[in-house]
Amino acid sequence: MSKNLVIVESPAKAKTIEKYLGSDFVVKSSVGHIRDLPKSDIGVDVEAGFEPNYVISPDKKTTVSDLKKLVGKSEKVWLATDEDREGEAIAWHLAEALGLDVRETERIVFSEITKNAILKAIDKPRRIDLNLVNAQQARRVLDRLVGFKISPILWRKIQPGLSAGRVQSVAVRLIVEREKEINEFVSTSSFRVLGYFETESGNSLEQSCLTVQPP
């Protein structure tokens, strides 16, 4: 039985990291996200404060099952997913799916796959950053709310297979509103008046007046 289980995202990283950590560690991969919103429905309870309903992805059920067995055989679990919002969310989903205590589970991050960086991360673990997790969740929920409702309209009106998301939908609206402003613009004439003056001492001065429009 291994004392430590380290879970990373990439299978390629797992072998290298395991070599650096030694025989007391087993390093396995989640192969990216293990949970997501269901594909069959919107998966967000708007009435309950936009509560997401996550399910284990069908292609990750075996992975989750294997990880659960390893968790049961390990004294400590380390979550070493990537150091970004997605990585933080994956770590949180792993903790939830594997029955780990989010407040106690070790979270480690590193920016390079070197022995020094890995060992340094092990020496200074932290906890899952729920602020980053919530930021990722907000983005995912917004993607679903916008895409799930607007994409079918695109399929009916424009072309099947098109998708709408939180970014392109807002961008399209900005473009449409700007185009509307351009079409409704009414041009008017304006003139710039220059005045030439001469002082009593004979010095010439040039003064520019403000732009004026005819009544």
pLDDT tier for residue 143 given thresholds of 50, 70 and 90: confident
Q: Is residue 115 part of a domain?
A: yes
3-50 confidence digits (pLDDT tens): 999 999 999 889 899 999 988 999 999 999 999 999 888 999 999 999
What is the structure's pLDDT at 215?
60
Range of the domain at 36: 4-133
Indicate whether 14 belongs to any domain.
yes
1 has pLDDT over 60 = no
**Can you give the pLDDT at residue 80?**
96
For 179-190, what is the mean pLDDT?
89
Residues sharing a CB contact under 8 Å with residue 101, sequence separation 6 or more, in sequence order: 95
The total number of structural domains that make up the chain: 1
100 occurs within a structural domain:
yes
- 2 pLDDT exceeds 80? no
Instruction: Give pairs for 114-117: CB < 8 Å, separation 24+.
Output: 114/20, 115/20
CATH of the domain at 59: 3.40.50.140
How remote is the C-alpha of 163 from its chain's centroid? 18
Average pLDDT over residues 204-211: 58
Asked if the model's pLDDT at residue 209 lies above 80, the reply is no
Q: How far apart are CA 12 and CA 16, in angstroms?
A: 7
Within a domain: 122: yes
Residue 118: what are its φ and ψ, rounded to 5°?
A: -65, -45
pLDDT level of residue 96 (50, 70, 90 thresholds) = very high
Say whether pLDDT at 136 is over 90: yes
63, part of any domain: yes
How many Cα atoms are found within 13 Å in the side-chain-facing hemisphere of 140? 22
The answer to whether position 214 is within a domain reads no
pLDDT for the residue numbered 54: 96
DSSP 3-state of 82? coil
The pTM assigned to this predicted structure is 0.75
Q: Which of 77-81, 155-159, 202-206 is predicted with the least confidence, judged by mean pLDDT?
A: 202-206
Is pLDDT at 191 greater than 70 in this prediction? yes
Asked, for residue 126, whether it belongs to a domain, the answer is: yes
123 domain residue, yes or no: yes
Residues 6+ apart with CB under 8 A from 147: 163, 164, 165, 166
pLDDT tens-digit map of 44-88: 999 999 999 999 999 999 999 999 999 999 999 999 999 999 999
What is the reported pLDDT for 127? 96
